[in-house]
Amino acid sequence: MTPAINLAKQHKIVYQIHQYQHAPNAVSYGLEAADKLGCNASQVYKTLIAELDKNQLVVAVLPVNKQLNLKLLAKAAGAKKAEMAKPDAAQRATGYLLGGVSPLGQKKRLKSYICQTAQQHQTLFVSAGKRGLEIELQPQDLQQLTLAKFARLTD
């Protein structure tokens, strides 16, 4: 069990856990998950931690086959500038190791933004809190559990 799974269980949402053997030499954790689970990369979402205006960490959840547009994230958050958070700051705030950062059950609740493309899917996959473990759930449940806003985050 991970904090992400515990949160989903606690709120009695419908979800499925998918496990696969993570390859330590994988170049992209998200693309590896899509490949090993046999699903379209546009349905598997990665969790990135960014820093706004040099002082506030936020969560961006977007498809693994897309690149985060930091300007769009800053705009969605009402900030002037966004940049990727330092790995140690991301791990400290979330309580998860990189490659296994889940948008659910983070140690510290951070403001979250989910790419609006998530709403096109019946279900999507996000990390369940460790490498090789994904949780499949409805986009609305993810939004509700994270108190996130849907926003345009990619080009």
pLDDT, tens only, 62-98 = 999 999 999 999 999 999 999 999 999 999 999 999 9
Instruction: Give the CATH number of the domain where residue 26 resides.
Output: 3.90.960.10
Confidence (pLDDT) at 135 = 98
Confidence of residue 117 (pLDDT cuts 50, 70, 90): very high
Instruction: Give tens-digit pLDDT for 12-64.
Output: 999 999 999 999 888 899 999 999 999 999 999 999 999 999 899 999 999 99
CA distance 92 to 23: 24
Across the strands, what pairs with 59? Answer: 49, 112
Stretch (H or E) spanning 146: helix 139-146
Residue-level pLDDT at 54 = 87
Across 20-123, the runs of DSSP E, i.e. the strands, are 45-52, 56-63, 82-84, 111-115
Question: Quick one: pLDDT band at residue 113, thresholds 50, 70, 90?
Answer: very high
The total domain count for the chain is: 1
Q: What is the mean pLDDT of the chain?
A: 96
What pLDDT is attached to residue 24? 86
Residue span of the structural domain in which 50 resides: 3-151
Residue 69 contacts by C-beta under 8 Å, 6 or more apart in sequence? 153, 154, 155
Report how far apart, in Å, the C-alpha atoms of 126 and of each of 56, 79, 138, 139 are: 23, 26, 11, 10
The answer to pTM > 0.75 is: yes
For residue 27, the model assigns a pLDDT of 85
